[in-house]
Amino acid sequence: MQNLLHNLNPEQLAAVTLPSQSALILAGAGSGKTRVLTTRIAWLIQTGQVSPGGILAVTFTNKAAKEMLTRLSALLPINTRGMWIGTFHGLCNRLLRAHHRDAGLPQTFQILDSGDQLSFIKRLLKANNIDDEKFPPRTLMYFINSAKDQGLRAAQVEAHDDFNRKMVALYDLYDAQCQREGVVDFAELLLRTYELLSRNQPLREHYQARFRHILVDEFQDTNDLQYQWLKLMAGAGKQEPAAVFAVGDDDQSIYAFRGANVGNMSAFEREFQVRNLIKLEQNYRSHGHILDSANVLIANNSKRLGKNLRTDAGHGEPVRIMEASSDIQEANWIIDEAKNLIREGSLRSEIAILYRSNAQSRVIEHALFTAGIPYRVYGGQRFFERAEIKHAIAYLQLMDNPHNDSAFLRVVNFPARGIGARSMEQLQDAARQHGISLYAAVPHVGGKAGSSLANFVRLIESARFETQNLPLPEMVQVVLDLSTLLTHYQTEKEGADRIENLEQLINAATLFVSEEGFSREAPALTGPASAAALLPAADSVTVIDADAALPAVMSPLSAFLSHASLEAGDNQAQAGQDALQLMTVHSAKGLEFDAVFITGLEEGLFPHENSMQEASGVEEERRLMYVAITRARQRLYLSFSQTRMLHGQTRYNMRSRFLDELPDESLKWLSPKIQPSWFGNKKSAWDEAPAAEANRLAQGMSKAQDSHGWRIGQNVLHAKFGEGVIVNIEGSGSSARAHINFGQFGMKLLDLSIAKLDKI
């Protein structure tokens, strides 16, 4: 027991050893929350308060779930394979596989990742002759997912106008088509599980009795339906609900655009009558100046639960701030500083460049490429999202569930086998006429088209026959051979990488079988997916406990296909080679680096212009800035630019309000040795200067423009447009005019002899 609890600080120890009651743990950035969660589970098991099977632990990424299982295995001599530790989507998938009949799903239901879902919606619109300009596929996808995240089916969504009424109708069509094809999207996994448990009392009570301890990571990122799902699993409102151990940080709630509701933390305190609230404020990641900047910044937000990060690591380096004249100059400065860090011994992979918008990366990437510095952009295609892998997966999906029209359409003519648009029109007409899948409609198409389509069906059936009872990796190899994907890519000029990726798919299947505990002799297929298997099951109260890991409730192929879809939808970035790391601030959540550059700190960019119409939007942007700052361990650099080329237009910028919210004593301002860009774009070197000296230098550099009482860079106040900054001046004397950036009101050209401006 002492070994388990050693080296925990007092707050961590208090959290780990709490009594069996619901608790809220406010875990600041870098405060060891994963260690607390894992040790809490180990402590509950070791003290005999719960068996491994009585734990339900929910994370937001597959990476976090795997890390928890790995750490738990190191702490206790137990087999963690059958434990219910995973993401919301992964756990719901597992439960639905065990109770697919009660949920009205075929046993071989397949999961649409976001890319597949978008293709599915495009196909739906085309099949129903819907104008995709009036009803854009991405807009419809967002509408459907948003409704499901709120727990709403089409019939429950309120439609206030003709557009919304049509969107609701399309949502209904979408649901019907998903049911017909035996597929579910990510949001459906959660909603279908919630509906199943809500209506099936014996099943609900079974799981409520089983899971007496529920632990939730990143609680601030839960949406409304996820919170309702947790309440249902915990038996909230019952006399003896489960003990819910919720770990989160309201200061790091940055996913409102995905439906996350930071208010769930306060609701949880109230509805679960939480008496135990513990703050983890000891930071083990960052130096003092970095933490002081984060603490002072986030204090500007209202309605915080409140905490203050601290460290024993000392103040460290001050936070460096650079004002550049252009985004090109900003990028060059970043390269210079990165080179210095590398010369001093920093690994490139420990240097991160963060930006608010993906559009900012182009200039930085160009500068890195020109300088010959290796870099990696997070948010690039993950393995299971690559086209060649998608094609191979589609063949496997058809073997598992031939009625998956999305998979059918992806590969029916890839590689090309003479099945053209006209043939597909005939097939789709037949499928609509008979109300069946494309695969099932093939016998209804005659002539040459029918013959070509029948050959494709025979290919799939042949693959099913030849892979019966084969282990999963060998099955994948057979499919790659029979589909002629390998042969196809051998003829491509740059096909070597695609072939390598396809061969890696076999390795991925081998690793999956090993990690999930499937026997090498386990049968891969459960038989053809008949039309009857796609019909909703009759009402049932049978309780089948999904106690074992997935091998007990689904075939290796079905499990692997689910794994591939869930991995493709996991937005957590992975560590890579020794290259500079480029990413959006949202992508950086959960990561940390020795040195971090936060770029583009300008009004309208960070905070983003879309957020500036309401206080809650700016507060979320401030939380995003807080997350960015707390990614840095030792060095933090902030930069902004007077001008920036974005979306084909030059923007004139005011510096971000967030810079003015940082503590002066933690900052070091940098100034260029050479004049800003309005004196000509020359190659710049950089000097460090205190804030006052930097301001004095900037004022001196703009004296040449001061012939009419105003100067470039001057902050002004206008009665109508509010605070602005002069970015350019034309003419002189009574004919002088100024280009002024007024932030949310944009750029204005004002006559200086008429405009009533006050100097700030």
185 is catalytic: no
User: SS3 for 668?
Assistant: strand
- Which residue's entry shows tokens 């309201």? 250
Among the listed residues 285, 320, 631, 633, the single catalytic one is: 631
- 758 catalytic? Reply is no
Cα–Cα distance list, 58 to 11, 89, 95, 196, 229 (Å): 22, 10, 14, 19, 11
Catalytic entry in 33, 148, 644, 655 = 33
Please indicate whether residue 376 is annotated as part of the active site: no
Tokens of 656: 């971000």
DSSP class of 128: T
**Backbone dihedral angles phi then psi of residue 239, each to the nearest 5 degrees:** -65, -40
Q: 755: helix, coil or strand?
A: coil
Contact 296, 663 (CB under 8 A): yes
Distance separating alpha carbons of residues 496 and 125, to the nearest angstrom: 36
Question: In which element (H, E) is residue 507 found?
Answer: helix 496-516
User: DSSP string spanning 624-648?
Assistant: HHHHHHTTEEEEEEEEEESEEEETT
Rg of the chain (C-alpha set): 29
Q: Are 265 and 221 in contact (CB under 8 A)?
A: no
One of 217, 221, 330, 603 is an active-site residue; which one? 217
The residue annotated as part of the active site, out of 21, 34, 150, 426, is: 34
Q: Binding site membership for ATP: which residues?
A: 27-34
Long-range contacts of 481-488 (CB under 8 A, 24+ apart): 483/391, 483/392, 483/395, 483/411, 483/415, 483/459, 484/415, 485/388, 485/391, 485/392, 485/395, 485/415, 487/415, 488/415
* Element spanning 726, H or E: strand 722-730
Which residue carries 């996994």 as its tokens? 189
Active-site option among 185, 218, 603, 620: 218
Give the orientation angle of helix 447-466 with respect to helix 472-482, to 10 degrees. Answer: 150
What is the distance between the alpha carbons of residues 427 and 450, in angstroms, rounded to a whole number? 8
Q: How far apart are the first and last CA of the chain?
A: 63
For the chain, what's the residue count?
Answer: 760
Query: Catalytic annotation on 218?
Result: yes
Give the count of beta carbons closer than 10 Å to the beta carbon of residue 246: 26
Cα–Cα distance, 565 to 567 (Å, whole number): 5
Residue 499 has which token pair? 């072939």
**And the tokens for 368?**
């890195």
Decide: 288 and 636 in contact? Cβ < 8 Å: no
Residue ranges for the known binding site are 27-34
**Within the chain, how many helices (H) and strands (E) appear?**
28, 23
537 secondary structure, DSSP code: P
**How many whole angstroms separate alpha carbon 41 and alpha carbon 18?**
11
Distance CA 274, CA 266 (A): 10
- Is the CB of residue 146 less than 8 Å from the CB of residue 119? no
| Active site (annotated) includes residue 33 | yes
Active-site residue (options: 117, 179, 226, 252): 252
Phi, psi of 249 (to 5 degrees): -145, 105
Amino acid identity of 268?
A: F
How far apart (Å, rounded) are the C-alpha atoms in residues 164 and 158?
8
Residue type, position 291, single letter: L
Enzyme catalytic residues? 33-34, 217-218, 252, 631
